[in-house]
Amino acid sequence: MKNLAPLCNLLLTIMLSVWTVLLWNPLPLAALLALELILIGYAGQAGKLARPVLGLSLVAGFFAVIQLPFDVAIPTAIASGLKMMVMTVAFLLLFATTKLPGLTAALVKQARIPYEYAFLFTSALRFVPDFLAESQAVREAQTCRGYVPSRNPVKRLISYAALVEPMVLRAISRSETMAMSLELRGFGSARRTFSQQIEFHGRDYLVLTLLAAMTAVVVLYR
């Protein structure tokens, strides 16, 4: 998938999700999951994605089991768990194999999505590590001031205000600086170019053909 055009990877992810929605038989769903695992291995991302996939399988298993007391048939419960897993793994695979700027460029230039929306998506991901570091710093600062999260879930939820409030204020200040930075760097310019290569090649067209054929098979034989 690393050698495919970003839009081709995105379409593959979307089609995997579409097939998952259409299918209710655990066997083909398991086959799709197997296909995804093979693709993860082929893309050399097994080491990176092993833990999240394992964690997901536990959640999916729990999701399937929790339906059984509500008179849901076993195959349906298993299919539900598999659906959740296949869809999520598809997106994990997409983000592990596709560079976000390439994806942004593809969304803007090929899918004709306004750049502002595509940028919103990538910039949100940019600030995740900062946000985590900041929440840790705020928690430590508030702990120094005597903050101790209660064991009572309601009290715990209320006490989170001590963490959320400074983080929101900081986020507002940060967003102002970011807005200035964007303004200074000509964000929203109509003449924008992209330095990423996103053009389709022969292999991309081959994958698209296979996707179309597979979709036809799923629609006919589901």
Residues that bind other proteins (CB under 8 A): 100-101, 122-123, 125-126, 129-130, 173-175, 177-189, 191-197
Least Å distance, CB 158 to other proteins, is 30
Least Å distance, CB 208 to other proteins, is 25
Rank residues 149 and 166 by Cβ distance to other proteins and give the closer one.
166
* Largest interatomic CA distance in the chain: 64
Rank residues 54 and 184 by Cβ distance to other proteins and give the closer one.
184
Q: Which two tokens stand for residue 138?
A: 């705020």
Least Å distance, CB 169 to other proteins, is 13
Rank residues 80 and 98 by Cβ distance to other proteins and give the closer one.
98
Rank residues 24 and 95 by Cβ distance to other proteins and give the closer one.
95
Q: Which amino acid belongs to residue 107?
A: L
Rank residues 58 and 177 by Cβ distance to other proteins and give the closer one.
177
Least Å distance, CB 139 to other proteins, is 19
- What DSSP designation does 111 have? S
Helix axes 26-42, 46-65, angle to 10 degrees: 160
Q: Does residue 86 contact residue 36 with C-beta atoms inside 8 Å?
A: yes
Least Å distance, CB 178 to other proteins, is 5
Q: Which amino acid belongs to residue 11?
A: L
Backbone angles phi, psi at 115, to 5 degrees: -60, -35
Q: Does residue 147 contact residue 162 with C-beta atoms inside 8 Å?
A: yes
CA distances (Å), 34 to each of 30, 66, 81, 180, in order?
A: 6, 24, 14, 47
Q: Does residue 214 contact residue 22 with C-beta atoms inside 8 Å?
A: no
